[in-house]
Amino acid sequence: MKYYKIEVKTNSNIKPPFFTGSMLRGGFGYTLKQVTCVNPSYNCDGCFGADNCLYYEFYEKKNSFHKFRFDIELGAKNYDFGLYLFEEACEKLPYILSALEKLVVKKGVGRDEVKFKDAKILVDGVVVYENGVFKKLATSPKDFLNDTYCPNIKLKLLTPIRIKKGNRFLKDSIELTDILRSINQRKSEIEGKERVYRLDYEPKFLVPMSNFKKQELVRKSNRQKTKMKMDGVVGEMVVMNLDKKSYELLKFGEIIGVGKQTVMGLGKIEVENLE
């Protein structure tokens, strides 16, 4: 899998709302449409350019896996955030960067349209926008490669994971196997393969300690004119004697996220090696 990690540094201590994912996704969609739309009517329905439109692919195309996700922190002290691009979405990097610059510097973020004139944008750790100027892009997407393995880890669920089991969202706790299945399913979707609901191997591990809780979140949907619950599970678990294949899946999950609404920053995990 090819991917980019984009980081936006606002150089500000302005405190944002507790959950910024929905706000960022909405604002980014607005500026991405400005950057990419070629239809004078600005209407996606029946548009002649829909098949080649990045905005349509990211926001309007039904029953498809969105090959991007925001990387956020709940209760962050500033407006800094990240954005991951996957596979062919990497080819549209200039449009993505232009839309991000419009959002953060010119339009402004959130209901109050907070602007950050001194913002920086980095791609894979390299500054590509600074002092109001884009630098020449001299980068190519990374290939996912995991060259580490540790059988004993602490798995941190940093933003709410939303996984359905028995046609209901898990609320207060979650099992490692459910996380692995979700990552494997998302992996198959990114690779353009038929959706996989089961693992093709038997994971091996022990979980001597876990500490989970329900995290309540609400987002406002301007399109549906309503508030929507985004509750999920956060916390951490210690995993011992983890098999290598499961470890690799979890490392993959650090990049693509776990469960539903990852485009808004949900399902963010971190693997901490304990050896």
At 194-205, the pLDDT tens digits run 778 789 999 999
Backbone φ and ψ for 218, nearest 5 degrees, come out as -135, 135
pLDDT recorded at residue 265: 96
What is the distance between the alpha carbons of residues 14 and 10, in angstroms, rounded to a whole number? 9
What's the mean pLDDT in 227-244? 94
At 151-165, the pLDDT tens digits run 999 999 999 999 988
pLDDT recorded at residue 207: 96
At 203-221, the pLDDT tens digits run 999 999 999 999 999 887 7
pLDDT recorded at residue 224: 61
pLDDT recorded at residue 198: 86
For residue 223, pLDDT over 70 is answered with no
Percent over 90 (pLDDT), the chain:
72
Q: Does domain 153-273 have CATH number 3.30.70.1900?
A: yes
Q: Which runs of E-coded beta strand occur in 97-253?
A: 120-123, 126-130, 133-134, 142-143, 153-161, 164-165, 168-169, 206-215, 218-221, 226-229, 232-240
12 CB-contact burial (10 Å; exposed 0-12 / middle 13-18 / buried 19+): middle
What's the mean pLDDT in 240-251? 97
What's the mean pLDDT in 88-95? 94
> Bigger pLDDT: 229 or 247?
247
Write down the mean pLDDT value for the chain: 92
pLDDT recorded at residue 157: 97
At 102-147, the pLDDT tens digits run 999 999 999 899 999 999 999 999 999 999 999 988 889 999 988 8
For residue 189, pLDDT over 70 is answered with yes
Percent over 70 (pLDDT), the chain:
98
For residue 34, pLDDT over 90 is answered with yes
Confidence of residue 225 (pLDDT cuts 50, 70, 90): low
Domain boundaries, the chain: 2-143, 153-273
pTM of the model: 0.93
Q: If DSSP codes are grouped into helix, strand and coil, which group holds residue 267?
A: coil
CATH number listed for the domain at residues 2-143: 3.30.70
In the structure encoding, which two tokens stand for residue 201, read together? 């191997």
Contact in structure between 97 and 121 (CB atoms under 8 Å) = yes
What is the distance between the alpha carbons of residues 216 and 192, in angstroms, rounded to a whole number? 33
At 60-83, the pLDDT tens digits run 888 778 899 999 999 999 999 999
pLDDT recorded at residue 73: 96
- Please indicate whether the domains covering 2-143 and 153-273 agree at the CATH topology level: yes
